[in-house]
Amino acid sequence: MADQPVEAEHIVQDAGSDDGTLDWLLQDRRVQAFVEPDQGMYDAINRGLRRASGDILAYLNCDEQYLSGALRTVAAFFQQHPKIDVAFGDVVVVDARGHYLCHRKMQTPLKYHTWTCHLSTLSCATFFRRRLLHEPRLLFDPRLRTAADGKWMVQMLQRRVPMAALGQFTSVFTRTGANLGAGPDAQRENRALARSAPPWARPLKPLLILHHRLRRLLGGMYAQAPFAYDIFTLANPERRQHYPVARPTFRPPR
């Protein structure tokens, strides 16, 4: 957020960190920090979204960041497409040192694939209009620990919220090995979400996966020319580091 060339409101929700974060966070005038107990990640996100005053909203977790200029791209897109309520950027996936692992290109998700299989977009590259929180009052389910974004997406698809893909890299996701989305809670909650799908849709999961992959193939989601990205790392938190990618791949390492 520090070098985004747009006016942005930066809200930090902290449940009471004991790792030294509060030693500097409350003194940083670039952010609005709220330190208070919460009921988990999605309750904290809801609190931040309710406090936000901007028209375009988004959120990041601690293992995510925006690429330089990403928010300017997002702002211009929404200005040019006033009927779109949700936009998805592409994502670079890196390791804990910032080295490239793979990338994820985004298409607008489909309802029954999302419902029965998995969420095909990433929250760090999801941007949406504030009016979604009020009409029809879409917020995250705080009872869920890891899969509330999947349920949220299904609810938006059910209500036919207008969505679009930006077709540009906007965000970076750091694969640390301890990400919540890879844990047993995520698997359990994703299975529960799939079980909540219509009975007729569940047996069609293999066909929905095949359709999803064909759609990505035809949409060019598996192709990417060499590129480069600049990010902040733990080793260099004050200045972006440059990483060229000679052989891009959509396949995550095992």
Task: Tell me the range of 6-10, 58-62, 76-80, 235-239 where mean pLDDT is highest.
Answer: 76-80
User: pLDDT tens across 49-89, in order?
Assistant: 999 999 999 999 989 999 999 999 999 999 999 999 999 99
Question: Residues 129, 74: contact at Cβ < 8 Å?
Answer: no
**Exposure on the CB side of residue 207, measured as CA atoms within 13 A:** 6
Residue 108 has pLDDT above 70, yes or no: yes
Residue 180 has pLDDT above 80, yes or no: no
User: pLDDT tens across 31-48, in order?
Assistant: 999 999 999 999 999 999
Q: How far apart are alpha carbons 163 and 225 in whole angstroms?
A: 26
Q: How far apart are alpha carbons 62 and 80 in whole angstroms?
A: 30
Q: Which residue has tokens 């080793």?
A: 235
Question: What pLDDT is attached to residue 62?
Answer: 87
Task: Please provide the average confidence, as pLDDT, over all residues in the chain.
Answer: 94
Least confident of 92-96, 184-188, 206-210, 212-216: 184-188
Domain topology for 55-245: Spore Coat Polysaccharide Biosynthesis Protein SpsA; Chain A (3.90.550)
Residue 183 has pLDDT above 80, yes or no: no
Least confident of 112-121, 133-142, 150-159, 244-253: 133-142
Q: How far apart are alpha carbons 183 and 185 in whole angstroms?
A: 6
**Exposure on the CB side of residue 134, measured as CA atoms within 13 A:** 8
Rounded to the nearest 5 degrees, what angle is found at the Cα of 35, between the Cα atoms of 31 and 41? Answer: 95
Residue 2 has pLDDT above 70, yes or no: no
Which H or E run contains 169? strand 163-174
**Exposure on the CB side of residue 27, measured as CA atoms within 13 A:** 5
Over its C-alpha atoms, the chain yields an Rg (Å, rounded) of 18
Question: Residues 181, 241: contact at Cβ < 8 Å?
Answer: no
Q: How far apart are alpha carbons 50 and 123 in whole angstroms?
A: 17
Return the DSSP state at 131: G
Residues 6+ apart with CB under 8 A from 62: none
Q: How far apart are alpha carbons 247 and 148 in whole angstroms?
A: 34
The DSSP string of 35-77 is: E---SSHHHHHHHHHHH--SSEE----TTEEEPTTHHHHHHHH
Can you tell me the mean pLDDT for 24-34?
89
Distances (CA, A) of 226 to 26, 103, 105, 178, 253: 41, 12, 14, 29, 18
Predicted TM-score (pTM) of the model is: 0.95
State whether the Cα torsion 6-56-224-247 is positive or negative.
Answer: positive
Residues in the chain, how many? 254
Q: How confident is the model at residue 1 (pLDDT cuts 50, 70, 90)?
A: low
Q: Which of 119, 195, 194 is nearest to 157 (CA)?
A: 119
How many C-beta atoms surround the C-beta of residue 122 within 10 A?
Answer: 19
